[in-house]
Chains A and B, each alone.
Chain A
Amino acid sequence: MKLLIIAGPPSSGKTALAKQIIKNLGYCLKISFLKIDVVKAFEDEELKKEFNIETMKVYSGDLCPDHAEVMVLGDAVSWAENLKSDLLIVESAGLCLRCSPYLNQGLGIVVLDAISGIHAPAKMGPMVSLADIAVVTKIDLVSQAEREVFRQKIFEINPEIQMFETNALYGTSLQFLYRKILMSDPINPETLKLKGVPPIGTCTICVGRKEIGWKHHFGIVKKLDQCSEYLYRGE
């Protein structure tokens, strides 16, 4: 079974992209779809109705959606394999932009929209730098020059990334992407691992304290003027 993880900020066009992939590969692959979101999501029902494929969703609630993905993905892979799926598509909620949900196998796609601002790719950190593929959507709203400037900015963050630019509502110019998916290697569920290192969650904010200011907290905390670049960096 092949695996595709789609990440990206809200409303960037992740579901529109998933629809195009299902529409164009559904004839030769049996596809299952998992949506991970925080509070509400309708994508699974939409896709089930439109393409008659198996779908599932999970709400992470007060847990970080990417942490939630790590917890449930093993089960999701078994679920899709039991259905004899050829391709499992996982659409993440992609919120805090500190984690990246991509795995050491399958393909990781980041969806960015062309009008989200030139610094958006840099601000999105590992969601861009660890992705295999970037799909830039809403290109019909910007000029060719601006599109190419945006593209260049993404390359400067991740020179290895494969980039596709599309109007995801119509799925323009995505043939090469479909071929990439078809040619991608099947996964081995026993050796699936996160590509990136997620931020740790061991401070008092994590356990529920809402007070503002360092004096209310202990664990990994620093005063504002002690913060160099990051409050905390792991490995």
Chain B
Amino acid sequence: MSITITVFPGKDKANLKENFKPITFISGESVSIVGPTGSGKTAFINDIELLAQGDTVTGRTVMINGQYPSDEYRHNPAVKPIVMITQNTKCFTDLTVEEFILTHARARKKEGPKIAALTIEMANLFTGEKISEKMRVTSLSGGQTRALMIADAITVGAAPIILLDEVENAGIFKHKVIEVIKNTDKIIIFVTHDPVIALLTDKRIVMKNGAVKKVINQSKKELWAAKVLIDLDQKMGMIREELRRGNIISEEILGIIGLEAGVVTSAEVV
């Protein structure tokens, strides 16, 4: 199912009208929202999630497939074509992981015998700490909660539009996440501070003081930069995992990973 989302300007934090041409996102497109903290990145995807009709903080309006969304589209999760993974790393819901997934599946009318098992299996791809169906959602760690929410969004949400708010946080395996959701026909919008994600997306929206300041299309030059950064990022990831396991990072390990210690030796640093 092909789908489009169009965002119309609202107001910035100083209550001044935003100055951008309506932005349309099309199925298969990936988008990143960048900008300093407090610049309005989360508010932007919140507007999409709520299918804002001038009744959110920003005053923006969102159309879906070129039309104003019906009330049913806005308020009934069973027909809502959008899933959002927020920055929350805590759940207040006192249910087991399995009950949580099954209740959510009822809300989204996506019931099936294997939905809980599938979701948990996927969540475990994203986190190093294993999640099981009888754990209580309230007792999950930040990373586990995040991993579960992302897996739930993909399996139970199963919507053509995915919004992710700072997926790189909370220590989950972001490459695995991106692998699972890229190359789909979905619209994927990342709020991010991560340079790799920002460079890999088709469109980059730059926010400032609550307003959209720029829309940048991906260029070949930047794709090259992304390649360099992905390599660096993977090396950083390996070191992170070593540290998490309690290992000491030696020059040898740096060498194996392919990071040059360069001219600075460990003796000089000390």
**A interface with B by C-beta (< 8 Å):** 114-119, 140-146, 148-153, 155, 163-165, 170-176
Contacts and interface: CB of A to CB of B under 8 A. Distances in A.
A150 B93 contact: yes
A145 B100 CA distance: 9
A92 to B, nearest CB: 25
A174 B86 CA distance: 21
14 contacts: A118-B95, A143-B86, A144-B83, A145-B83, A145-B100, A145-B104, A148-B77, A151-B77, A152-B104, A152-B106, A152-B107, A163-B75, A170-B56, A172-B52
Interface in B6-43: none
Interface of B: 46, 49-50, 52-53, 55-57, 71, 74-75, 77, 83-86, 88, 91-95, 100, 103-104, 106-108, 149, 152-153, 156-157
Given A145-B153, A151-B107, A172 B57 contact: yes
Interface residues of B, dominant DSSP: mixed
Contacts of B55: 171-175
Contacts of A143: 84-86, 88, 91, 149
Contacts of B104: 145, 148-149, 152
A151 B77 CA distance: 9
A170 B71 CA distance: 19
A176 B76 CA distance: 13
User: Which of A114, A119, A148, A172 has the most CB atoms of chain B within a 10 A radius of its CB?
Assistant: A148
Nearest to A178: B55
B86 A144 contact: yes
A10 B83 CA distance: 31
Contacts of A114: 92
Contacts of B93: 117-118, 146, 149-150
B103 A172 contact: no
B155 to A, nearest CB: 11
Contact of B88 (A142, A149, A172): A142
B81 to A, nearest CB: 13
A153 B107 CA distance: 9
B94 A119 contact: yes
A117 B93 CA distance: 6
A148 B88 CA distance: 14
B92 A146 contact: yes
Nearest to B105: A152
A123 to B, nearest CB: 12
Nearest to A116: B92
